[in-house]
Amino acid sequence: MDRTIVMIHGMWGTPHVWRHWRGLLEARGWQVLAPALRHHDAPPLKPPAALGAVSLLDYLADLQAELGRLPHKPVIIGHSMGGLLTQMLAARQACRAAVLLCPAPPAGVFALHPTVVRAFLRIQFRRGWWKRPHRASYKEAMYGTFNTCTDRLECDREYGHFVHEAGRVLLEIGYPFLDRRHAARVDPAAVTCPLLVIGAGEDRLTPPSVVRKIARRYAGAEHREFADQGHWVLGQPGWREVATYAADWLDRLPPASADSVADGDPADA
């Protein structure tokens, strides 16, 4: 049985965010790959100018190319924006199973919750924000991403690794009705692989009500909500419980079938 996991980080993230989960999963016999999304290997405070105009579709194309080089379709785990990219990949039959951690919503799921608006309001007051790189301020990160992280030193260290994100991507996720290319669109009928959707009761960036709507879109999806967790299920106190639940679910998956060879050019959904 192929035991390869590809982990996709979220907005402002890098592969560094997976360090806790990666160790736990590797100890359970999984081979873990954690690619950096385009331009997310740049220094935290020096974003490439080209980043601002990068689209979800660019991230998707890069990931499809990477997955196409694997001998078998992997399991994919995505957090936040990475959870939306995971939905997009699943709809293109690029994985044999997927785990969505506090996922960003696809087009069609209303997500302009007051806490979400507050978290991104300052960024959207900048001139031309939809085509410029952006990075959460420390105050915004503590409000939106780390609101239930009681280990302040851990949160401070993690914030130090935050990089810039594409303004174009923020528009595609937050205002899909303004996006002519419909980058955030996912056909729920095209998602046929086993799917675990994990939400957090205190999440301010992808509120639990939004995550429940996402889970209901996909036939047969399993949904689990951790009431006392916030968005940072990757490293705050309690992360191990979340990761162990996901790992146990993955271990119950049926063996990979003979037709689970990765397709270098998955059909568009």
The DSSP-derived string for 2-15 is: --EEEEE--TT--G
Dihedral of CA 122/150/115/166: which sign?
Answer: positive
Of residues 77, 111, 88, the one with CA closest to residue 186: 88
Q: Which helix (H) or strand (E) holds 115?
A: helix 114-120
pLDDT per residue, tens digit, the chain (269 aa), is 689 999 999 999 999 999 999 999 999 999 999 999 999 999 999 999 999 999 999 999 999 999 999 999 999 999 999 999 999 999 999 999 999 999 999 999 988 899 999 999 999 999 999 999 999 999 999 999 999 999 888 889 999 999 999 999 999 999 999 999 999 999 999 999 999 999 999 999 999 999 999 999 999 999 999 999 999 999 999 999 999 999 999 999 987 664 455 444 444 44
Count other Cβ atoms within 10 Å, centred on residue 62.
16
Range of the domain at 14: 4-251
Q: Cα-flanking dihedrals φ and ψ of residue 4, to 5°?
A: -105, 130
Residue type, 210: V
Give the CA angle between residues 268, 95, 31 to the nearest 5°.
145
Give a yes or no: residue 261 inside a domain.
Answer: no
Q: Tens digit of pLDDT for each residue in 124-167?
A: 999 999 999 999 999 999 999 999 999 888 889 999 999 999 99
CA 98 to chain centre: 11
Give a yes or no: residue 258 inside a domain.
Answer: no
**Strand partners for 97:** 75
Give a yes or no: residue 244 inside a domain.
Answer: yes
CATH of the domain at 12: 3.40.50.1820
**Residue 211 Rama label (left phi>0; alpha psi -120 to 50; beta):** alpha
Give the CA angle between residues 214, 239, 251 to the nearest 5°.
70
Give a yes or no: residue 268 inside a domain.
Answer: no
Distance CA 99, CA 250 (A): 9
Give a yes or no: residue 262 inside a domain.
Answer: no
What the block records as the tokens of 192 is 């046929």
What the block records as the tokens of 127 is 């001139």
Report yes or no on whether pTM surpasses 0.75: yes
What the block records as the tokens of 41 is 């290997």
Q: What is the per-residue DSSP string for 179-206?
A: -TT-TT---GGG--S-EEEEEETT-SSS
Give a yes or no: residue 259 inside a domain.
Answer: no
Give a yes or no: residue 27 inside a domain.
Answer: yes
Distance CA 38, CA 54 (A): 8
Give a yes or no: residue 256 inside a domain.
Answer: no
Give the number of domains in the chain. Answer: 1
